């Protein structure tokens, strides 16, 4: 029995994500929450002939508490998306408060749930959830995940395009580490399951790295003011959620990159910190999933000189983004004293 909950379920990501979760036969209950339209989305999805019982909730009448009651896994795509010319950090002002409010609801109603954060800027919203949980004395670093799967999905697609065979895309695996914005997105192309053509020029290689790092901008530009990636994100979010669900049901050996706490006693956390050469509270690396969430963090492994430089460039930005999230929660609690 698995109850999955989507917070922000009526949005551009929320609706197709809810559809894909409804289509997942392992999900037996699907709770949808948003500030608008969830009764309609839930009624629509509830006619699909799959096991999940679907219910939609709105803020009145304790909707957040009701949707979160009994939740095993909570996915959060609530918040505003970018418009052309904006960075993900520009979303912080609005999304930080939304995420903190939802995290407070989870901390008080479903503190043991596995929490998957999609709302941007992920590098800062994940620390916001963690700090909120800490304030409530319920933080378990193994149960909190920043969803970076879209970067991994993009890397698979773009590499298979360069190899010249899109049919390979589902099989191409490229670890993408760091975080989820610009230079913090670090694709380890030297570790691709399918090597790049040896004829690929240095410039084309650099362009590929850039395209993976800034793939989100491509979509924001093409949507021309109508938002950012929604369908590919829903696909990626559902993929990652499905892996977490399989792992918590006991399947072993599931590995996926995710932005997680390094301040955890999970195997490999200390070794990863050592590889990074400095303490970082959060980092995205290959994570082995288990019944309790993060079971093991994989090392970065052998990097090329270029990849080492990319990791080095990502670290100061991550430090700044993490600090912004931590400070937001600290300040907001100070303000309420």
Ligand X SMILES: O=C(O)C[C@H](O)C(=O)O
- Contact positions vs ligand NAD (CB under 6 A): 7-8, 10-14, 33-36, 77-82, 91, 95, 98, 101-102, 118-120, 122, 147, 150, 180, 227-230, 233
Residue 210 annotated among the catalytic residues of the structure = no
CB nearer ligand X, residue 82 or residue 211: 82
Biggest CA–CA distance in the chain, Å, is 62
CB nearer ligand X, residue 82 or residue 143: 82
User: Between residue 253 and residue 292, which ones bind ligand X under the rule CB under 6 A?
Assistant: none
* Residue at token pair 């970065």: 300
* Site size for ligand X (CB under 6 A): 9
Long-range contacts of 62-69 (CB under 8 A, 24+ apart): 63/33, 64/7, 64/33, 64/102, 64/105, 64/109, 65/105, 65/108, 65/109, 67/5, 67/7, 67/31, 67/32, 67/33, 68/5, 68/31, 68/33, 68/105, 68/106, 68/109, 68/110, 68/113, 69/109, 69/110
If contact means CB under 5 to 8 A according to the sort of partner, which of ligand NAD, ligand X, none does residue 220 touch?
Answer: ligand X
Q: Are 258 and 240 in contact (CB under 8 A)?
A: yes
Q: Are 82 and 120 in contact (CB under 8 A)?
A: yes
Kindly state the smallest distance separating residue 223's Cβ from ligand X, in Å: 10
Q: 180, 194, 210, 298: which one is catalytic? A: 180
Nearest CA among 100, 78, 102, 82 for reference residue 91: 82
Residue 75 in the binding site for ligand X (CB under 6 A): no
Rounded-to-10 torsion of CA 239, 65, 102, 247: -30
Kindly state the smallest distance separating residue 107's Cβ from ligand NAD, in Å: 15
Residue 120 in the binding site for ligand X (CB under 6 A): yes
CB nearer ligand NAD, residue 78 or residue 189: 78
Task: State whether the Cα torsion 154-160-166-167 is positive or negative.
Answer: negative
Residue nearest to ligand NAD (CB): 11
Rounded CA-CA distance 295/180 in Å is 22
Q: Is 34 annotated as a binding residue?
A: yes
Helix (H) or strand (E) holding 260: strand 254-261
Residue 100 in the binding site for ligand X (CB under 6 A): no
User: Between residue 206 and residue 225, which ones bind ligand X under the rule CB under 6 A?
Assistant: 216, 219-220
If contact means CB under 5 to 8 A according to the sort of partner, which of ligand NAD, ligand X, none does residue 172 touch?
Answer: none
Active site residues: 180
- Binding-site positions read 8-14, 34, 82, 88, 95, 118-120, 154, 233
- Binding-site positions for NAD(+) read 8-14, 34, 95, 118-120, 233
Q: Which positions touch ligand X (CB under 6 A)?
A: 82, 88, 120, 150, 216, 219-220, 228-229
């Amino acid at each position: 029995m698995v109850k999955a909950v989507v917070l922000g379920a009526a949005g551009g990501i929320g609706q197709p994500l809810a559809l894909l979760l409804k289509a997942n036969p392992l999900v037996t209950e699907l709770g949808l929450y948003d500030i608008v339209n969830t009764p309609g989305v839930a009624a629509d999805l509830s006619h699909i002939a799959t096991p999940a019982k679907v219910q939609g909730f709105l803020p009145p009448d304790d909707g957040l508490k009701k949707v979160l009651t009994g939740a095993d896994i909570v996915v959060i795509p609530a918040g505003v998306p970018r418009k052309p010319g904006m960075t993900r950090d520009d979303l912080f002002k609005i999304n930080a408060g939304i995420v903190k409010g939802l995290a407070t609801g989870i901390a008080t109603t479903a503190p043991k749930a596995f929490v998957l954060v999609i709302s941007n800027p992920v590098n800062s919203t994940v620390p916001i959830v963690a700090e909120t949980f800490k304030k409530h004395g319920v933080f378990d670093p193994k149960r909190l995940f920043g969803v970076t799967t879209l970067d991994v999905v993009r890397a698979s697609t773009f590499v298979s395009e360069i190899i010249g065979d899109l049919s390979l895309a589902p099989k191409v695996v490229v670890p993408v580490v760091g975080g989820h914005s610009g230079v913090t997105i670090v694709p380890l192309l030297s570790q691709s399951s399918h090597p790049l053509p040896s004829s690929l020029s240095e410039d084309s290689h650099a362009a590929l790295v850039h395209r993976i790092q800034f793939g989100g901008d491509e979509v924001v530009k093409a949507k021309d003011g109508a938002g950012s990636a929604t369908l590919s994100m829903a696909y990626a979010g559902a993929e990652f959620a499905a892996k977490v669900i399989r792992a918590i049901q006991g399947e072993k050996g599931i590995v996926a990159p995710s932005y997680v706490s390094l301040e955890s006693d999970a195997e490999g956390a200390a070794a990863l910190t050592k590889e990074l050469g400095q303490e970082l509270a959060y980092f995205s690396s290959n994570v082995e999933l288990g019944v309790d969430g993060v079971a093991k963090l994989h090392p970065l492994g052998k990097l090329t000189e270029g990849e080492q430089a990319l990791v080095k460039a990502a670290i100061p930005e991550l430090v700044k983004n993490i600090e912004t999230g931590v400070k937001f929660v600290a300040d907001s609690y100070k303000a309420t004293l």
